[in-house]
Structure 1
Amino acid sequence: MRVLGMISGTSHDGIDVAVVDFDLGSGDGGDVLTGRVLHTASTPYPDELRARLVAALPPAPVTLAEVCVLDTLIGQCFAEAAEAAVEQAGPVDLIVSHGQTVFHWVEGTHARGTLQIGQPAWIAERTGAPVLSDVRIRDITAGGHGAPLVSVLDGLLLGGHEGGAAALNLGGISNMTVVRGASLSAYDIGPANALVDAVVSARGLNPRGYDEDGRIAASGQVDERLLAVLLDEPYYGLPAPKSTGKELFHLAYVEEAVARAGTGPSDADLVATLTELTVRTVARDVAAAGVDVLVASGGGCRNPVIMDGLRAALPGVRVSLSDELGAPADDKEAIAFALIGWLTAHGLPGTAPGGTGARAARVLGTLTPGADPLVLPAPLPAPPRSLVLRR
């Protein structure tokens, strides 16, 4: 079954896509799912649309009219990206669109709701393929956080590692999945690129809106007084499972922390300090997990200041990229949503309750029919025990 996975993450810079051809075979001791990654790509949002999206994100006030407009414009962008992927890789049986998260409602340790926009009907109309969307909310209704959903992929990829392994995603928010055999736990650690991107964009430090190759951070010095204020954030002390987003970690949050610290760092020192915040929070949690392997993905793993900082802080841990497991670091989340689509199509849960905190695993998503009558494969009695990805 050929599935196209699509997502724009918390960095809201564009749309990542992955076409994966899944085949279920039999391996020693159980079923093994093979996924051949046929195509990956990234499509940036048009500058005007990205600016409009950023202006509507929390804590900014926004009208329902603007939400409606953005839902359409982002849906059309997803449709264009899907059409381009199909032209490159050939027809697909199903498209999974995560869309763009614009609000994730969390009160204390409980998620109450989540909103992803990017109207899937535009994708179905443009490509003729059925579209699975709105994939997070069913987990939330079952008491989970709806995140990190990538943990279902992590469990299948890392379950065979003896001694325990962790998968780390460094997007706008950092999240981690810890896998020990059949045991899995996952949660959002805190900001990865979100605060750095907010400062870089607001202060015009890079027209691309992020610290490319960590150059700004490398040119600055960590402001330890400000870092101490940032590390005092109550979220870090909450028990897992937990989730967070830009509803908490945004530009005003940085400005308030600087005011409390009373230090007035330079632009480079501020970026260096926010980058070190990511290193410290991630390294602390990885060390507490007691794993000896850490597999990283997401845009932040292309930042050598972050990766070098993690390796220095975790001398007993082998830190590598998810590329080694067949999931390119920049495309892993898109591959994960393609997997969720395959699971849903076969009547299988797309969540790991240990990762989201839900009462039980749930089949995910809402289906929008394509041009032809919707025909799903026969349901499977049990999920695969592992996944092997190939290019």
Structure 2
Amino acid sequence: MSDATYYIGLMSGTSVDAADAAVVRFDAAGNQPRILATHAQAPDTSLRDDLLHLSQQVAGVSLAKFGELDQRVGEWFARAALAVMEKAGVSAQDIDAIGSHGQTVRHEPDARYPFSLQLGSASRIAARTGCRVVADFRNSDIAIGGQGAPLVPAFHRSVFANAEHNRIVINIGGIANLTVLPRHAVDDPHAVTGLDTGPGNALMDAWTAAHLKRHYDADGHWAASGRVDEALLAHMMADRYFARPAPKSTGREYFNLDWLRAQIDSLASRPLPADVQATLCEFTARTIAQAIDEYGPGNEQVLVCGGGVRNAELQRRLQQLLAPRQLTPTDEYDVDSDWVEAVAFAWLAMRTVKGLSGNVPGVTGASAPVALGGIYQAAQLDN
């Protein structure tokens, strides 16, 4: 083989719609990622339901159930890894490591004893694939005072920072986050900032599932059919999260259907379901635009990735709010917008294997750069 290295990134976000897997080739310096193959492994319906139930704390979950879910998610991720290896035509011997983000079920960086909890047994993934696995990325950052999120800004800097242009990268998954890349970030990693801006697709997806029995609002058609309820929008925008300064991060444990229903119940009159969806779409766009106006250096090039890129109505509203800045999918900068996070966790695994830091203290609030996660070796069985 050449001096190039091969890693797999595994990622499932707060929408719990698929385990995204990517086989990525890096050059000898650990730069210039090239995607060799991708695969989206949908979870079993029962597994998805159990994970959503757990993440929203609808009711207590026994330790037996919790342990079972950890193994089921590990098996789900292992299947995704094996499928993408087959697509790429590579074997375990070709792969330096798998970077597995896991499935977040609780994120509490501001608790008395801060933590971030992801399911997906790394030992099971290692055993099933024959590859070593890097996992539990977030708690390494939290242990030294960070939020443990967002973790993709270091990767964004490595591939998107530009000496001639200020740039902002918006990742719109279940939660939306942004990375601010001023021109001098090319030479100075301390110049990078970022934060979770609030809900991305999570509330829109949850509301769609509750009313239309679908996983998401395709192209934002349902949102486009309604009208924005200004009273509901104002009430949501007044949430204390948006007044907090960065560094900050959030998740489904905060922004969920219970939170949304509490906002609706506070109104004098209840809006129609389609109007709530329209308002949620505007809410996501407004909170992203507000964060860009607050934290951006001005005159930025705005790059967009994540599932929200496929929501035409959300993109239309974002473009209106951010004009004259143009929204550009990261596809035009050589990283497919659907696979940025999976590639990012392959890159973070590579950094950890090499003993290099993966967090950005200016983003997470950690006291220092640190290598992220733990390494789980593949079993070496005697013949």
- What TM-score comes out, normalization by structure 1 length? 0.90
Higher strand residue share: 1
Aligned counterpart in structure 2 of residue 43 of structure 1, from 41, 44, 57: 41
Q: Which residue of 2 aligns with 1:22?
A: 26
Match of 2:110 among 86, 92, 107: 107
Residues 268-287 of structure 1 correspond to what in structure 2 (within 5 A)? 268-287=274-293
Q: 1:120 to 1:129 in 2, by over 3 A?
A: same
CA contact (8 A) 2:109 2:142 kept: no
Structure 2 partner of 1:52: 50
d(CA) in 2 for partners of 1:291, 1:210: 33
CA distance in 1, matches of 2:122, 2:110: 28
Report what 2:168 is aligned to.
Answer: 166
Q: What SS does the corresponding residue of 2:222 show, helix, strand or coil?
A: helix
SS in 1 for 2:100: strand
CA-CA distance at 1:58 after TM superposition: 2.4
Bigger helix share: 2
Cα distance in 2 for partners of 1:52, 1:176 equals 29
* Structure 1 position 266 matched with structure 2 position 272: yes
Which of 336, 353, 356 lines up with 1:328 in the alignment? 336
Which of 302, 312, 325 is 1:317 aligned to? 325
Q: Is the 8 A contact 1:241 1:356 kept in 2?
A: yes
**Is 1:224–2:227 an aligned residue pair?**
no
Q: In structure 2, how many angstroms separate the alpha carbons of the residues matched to 1:283 and 1:148? A: 18
Equivalent pair of 2:32/2:159 in contact (CA under 8 Å): no
Given that 2:98 and 2:131 are in contact with CA atoms closer than 8 Å, whether structure 1 keeps it comes out as yes
Distance 2:229 2:173 in 1: 23
d(CA) in 2 for partners of 1:372, 1:64: 30
Task: Tell me the alpha carbon deviations over residues 262-290 of structure 1, each in whole angstroms, 9 at most, x when there is no partner.
Answer: 32111111100011000111111212312
1:188-226 CA-partner distances (Å, limit 9, x unpaired): 0000111111111122x143x111110110111111111
Asked if 2 retains the 8 angstrom alpha-carbon contact of 1:151 and 1:186, the reply is yes
In 2: Cα distance, 1:19 partner to 1:291 partner: 35
Give ranges in structure 1 of 5+ residues lacking alignment. Answer: 26-31, 374-391
Report 1:2-17 matches (<5 A).
2-17=6-21
Question: Equivalent residue for 1:215?
Answer: 221
Render the CA deviation track for 1:296-339: whole Å, top value 9, x for unaligned: 11111110111111111111212101111221111100000000
2:61 partner letter = V
- Cα RMSD, aligned residues only: 1.6
Within the candidate set 245, 250, 255, 1:249 is matched to: 255
- Give 1:372 deviation, angstroms: 4.3
Count of residues in Structure 1 that have an aligned counterpart in Structure 2:
364
User: Equivalent residue for 1:80?
Assistant: 79
The share of aligned pairs that are identical, in percent, is 40
**Is residue 2:246 matched to residue 1:240?**
yes
2:356 aligns with one of 343, 348, 355:
348
- What's the CA shift string for 1:233-290, capped at 9, x where partnerless? 0000101010001111000111100011232111111100011000111111212312
Residue identity opposite 2:34 in structure 1: R
Distance 1:262 1:64, change over 3 A: farther
In the alignment, the residues of structure 2 paired with residue 351 and residue 291 of structure 1 have an alpha-carbon distance, to the nearest angstrom, of 26
SS in 2 for 1:107: coil
State how far apart, in whole Å, the 1-side matches of 2:113 and 2:301 are. Answer: 30
Would the aligned equivalents of 1:21 and 1:36 in 2 still touch at CA under 8 Å?
A: yes
Q: Which amino acid aligns with 1:167?
A: V
8 Å contact from structure 1 (residues 16, 331) kept in 2: yes
| Number of the residue aligned with 2:378 | 370
Residue 120 of structure 1 corresponds to: 122
Written as runs of structure 1 = structure 2, the 5 A alignment for 1:87-98 is 87-89=86-88, 90-91=90-91, 92-98=95-101
Relative distance call for 1:146 and 1:372 in structure 2 (3 A) is same
In 2, Cα distance between equivalents of 1:279 and 1:259: 23
Question: CA offset at residue 161 of structure 1?
Answer: 4.3
